[in-house]
Amino acid sequence: MRMCLTADIGGYYTGALEEGRDQFGLKGDFVTSPEISQVFGELCGIWYVAEWMAQGRRSQGVELIEVGPGRGTLMDDMLRTIQRFPDMANSIDAIYMVEASAELRMAQKNLLCGEDAPMSESKVGYHSVCKHSALPIVWTETIKSIPVAPEKTPFIMAHEFFDALPIHAFELVSVPPTQTTARTPTDTSSPSSKTSHPTLQWRELMVSPTPPGSTHASLRTPTSQSHDTPPPDFQLTLAKAPTRHALYLPESSPRYRSLKTTVGPGALLEICPDAALYAADFASRIGGSPQHPKPQPSGAALILDYGPGDGTIPTNSLRGISRHRRVSPFAEPGLTDLSADVDFAALAESATRASEGVEVHGPVAQADFLELMGIRERVEMLARAMRDASSGTVAGTTQEDVTKAVEDVKKAWGRLVDRGPNGMGKIYKALAILPENGGRRRPVGFGGDVVGA
């Protein structure tokens, strides 16, 4: 997944696509919430304003950090909204964008700073100046390049970021006893593979080449994923012996270990080590950690992505997306978007394990989050403004044009909060990491009210 998406040469986000083809939007492979409606980014901006107010309205030291910023649309909408709250806008010291793709970094710079704005390079990353506020914007290839300082208040955004991080997949198998359990000096096999009685072992599902002459039929590619794509070049194959990852990752959490007794042989499991690292990084920046002590926790992280919200562990969720259709994730590597369901319970576990100074709220359905944030009222306000301005519209604009624009705004709202089986309002979830406060305050959008106004 990492190679297919962000390899220096031939990665989906790093130059593999042909000239003129975009990953995002109607002409690309998928549409994200910020591209559907500006209201999404506006409400995310309001969420951070509410957190800033609730945490005492700090006058300086605030950092805005976005991981995987896409084309920059979300940050642009958030910054435009935050500018309407001058005290918070003036508290921001810098904006950080964590982006591995040079092409996307340039697209973000053009949107946030202007096409004519210069971009310089340093040991930290790439630098320019925001058109909204004259604030410095710093692009880094990894979040580790962003300095950690105890006096800073980081507000971190992760929208459709975790689903693109590489996963490991495992299956629980029953291993019969071996003929001998005595190890010889030349025996290099894993101790776990030498048993005198039947055992349960996790085996990793590895990516391997498909046999020559393979077809969609021979590979049993689902019909819905075989349109207009060649037969997959790769397939998943169960490892014949435990790999290093199989020996460690499924034992790293009680949730994973319990599958041996609750499910038994045949249990499936997907684990994303990178997600755990990022969640731990977010938590340590907000709440402090043994490596980076922070006397007063501050900041917040908002994570919006898709995956189960009931604590279940994702299985069989690796998917390929091309031109708004599901395709095999193993066909046309580098030209196909890859993603997997996010394990929100694992994110929460990693965050609270990394820092005693944080607590986690959610996940809640995107529809609930947006409705609690006031999406209905904001859409009605936009529609009313469009109608009120219709009398003074540019020559050539008709009442039908205004009516259609209002309908489009409401249609976009409906799509964001759609609670149908595959609706964005249901399958997308929101999770928040906040400074530990003993559960005395719930954040806005998660059942709490605005405080400190």
Q: Are 112 and 131 in contact (CB under 8 A)?
A: yes
Cα–Cα distance, 265 to 337 (Å, whole number): 32
Confidence of residue 220 (pLDDT cuts 50, 70, 90): confident
Percent share of the chain, pLDDT over 70: 89
* Per-residue pLDDT at 181 exceeds 50: no
Peptide linkage before 154 cis (omega within 30 of 0): no
pLDDT tens readout for residues 227-255: 677 888 898 999 999 999 999 999 999 99
* Least confident piece of the model among 180-189, 281-290, 394-403, 414-423: 180-189
Find the farthest-apart pair of alpha carbons in the chain and give their distance in angstroms, rounded: 89
Helix axis angle, 38-54 to 375-389, nearest 10°: 120
Confidence of residue 27 (pLDDT cuts 50, 70, 90): low
| Domain spans, the chain | 2-165+274-367+425-435, 168-177+192-271, 371-416
Q: Please list, in sequence order, all residues whose beta carbon lies within 8 angstroms of the beta carbon of residue 394, skipping any fewer than 6 positions away.
A: none
Q: Please report the DSSP string for 410-440 in residue order.
A: HHHHHHHT--STT-HHHHEEEEEEEE--TT-
Cα–Cα distance, 450 to 188 (Å, whole number): 61
Neighbours of 393 (CB within 10 A): 14
**What is the mean predicted confidence (pLDDT) over 217-222?**
81
* Per-residue pLDDT at 71 exceeds 70: yes
Neighbours of 381 (CB within 10 A): 12
**What is the mean predicted confidence (pLDDT) over 26-40?**
76
**What is the mean predicted confidence (pLDDT) over 84-88?**
96
Confidence of residue 182 (pLDDT cuts 50, 70, 90): very low
Cα–Cα distance, 297 to 283 (Å, whole number): 10
Cα–Cα distance, 350 to 181 (Å, whole number): 37
Fold of domain 2-165+274-367+425-435: Rossmann fold (3.40.50)
- Give which of 84, 103, 96, 154 is closest to 125, Cα–Cα: 96
Q: Which helix (H) or strand (E) holds 254?
A: helix 254-257
Read off the amino acid at residue 65. Answer: I
Region label for 25, one of left (φ > 0), alpha (ψ between -120 and 50) or beta (otherwise)? left
* Per-residue pLDDT at 390 exceeds 80: no
Rg (CA), the chain: 24
Q: Are 53 and 451 in contact (CB under 8 A)?
A: yes
pLDDT of 403 reads 80
pLDDT tens readout for residues 137-163: 999 999 999 999 999 999 999 999 999
Query: Could you give the C-alpha distances from 6 to 1, 71, 81, 203, 270, in angstroms and in order?
Result: 8, 15, 31, 27, 21
Q: Which residue has the tokens 């605005």?
A: 450
Percent share of the chain, pLDDT over 90: 62
Confidence of residue 448 (pLDDT cuts 50, 70, 90): confident
Cα–Cα distance, 10 to 210 (Å, whole number): 20
Cα–Cα distance, 186 to 7 (Å, whole number): 38
Q: Are 45 and 84 in contact (CB under 8 A)?
A: no
pLDDT of 380 reads 87
Chain centroid to CA 249: how far? 21
Q: What share of the chain is helix, strand, coil (3-state, %, to 5)?
A: 35, 20, 45
Q: Are 46 and 368 in contact (CB under 8 A)?
A: no
**What is the mean predicted confidence (pLDDT) over 402-410?**
81
